[in-house]
Amino acid sequence: MINAKSIAAMKDGVIVINTSRGPLVVEEDMAAALNSGKVAAYGADVASVEPIRPDNPLLTAKNSLLTPHIAWAPKEARTRLMDIAVDNLRAFTEGAPKNVVNPKK
């Protein structure tokens, strides 16, 4: 979806954020647009191949901010997941399991 043609149609100095899917962006085209200044900045939590390869052009492109697919995991989300796991374990040991995937009928 985001390639040289679609980037050319964007305003100069655009900021692009991708937290959807890495393959939606042609990374070579985005790197070229960053290095030329057409795109002011690119932020992504995804890459076309994960874990990101050392030769990915976005790793050396200007104003490219990349995170390792952790946008889903702020402290609050991880705390909530741990609380749910503890609550599920407690309920199971008390004989009243919660969130049962395949309950016996």
Indicate which residue of 27, 28, 50, 90 is catalytic. 50
Indicate which residue of 27, 28, 53, 69 is catalytic. 69
How far apart, in whole angstroms, are the C-alpha atoms of residue 85 and residue 48? 31
Residue 90 is among the residues annotated as catalytic for this protein: no
Residue 27 is among the residues annotated as catalytic for this protein: no
Residue 28 is among the residues annotated as catalytic for this protein: no
Indicate which residue of 21, 53, 78, 90 is catalytic. 21
Active site residues: 21, 50, 69
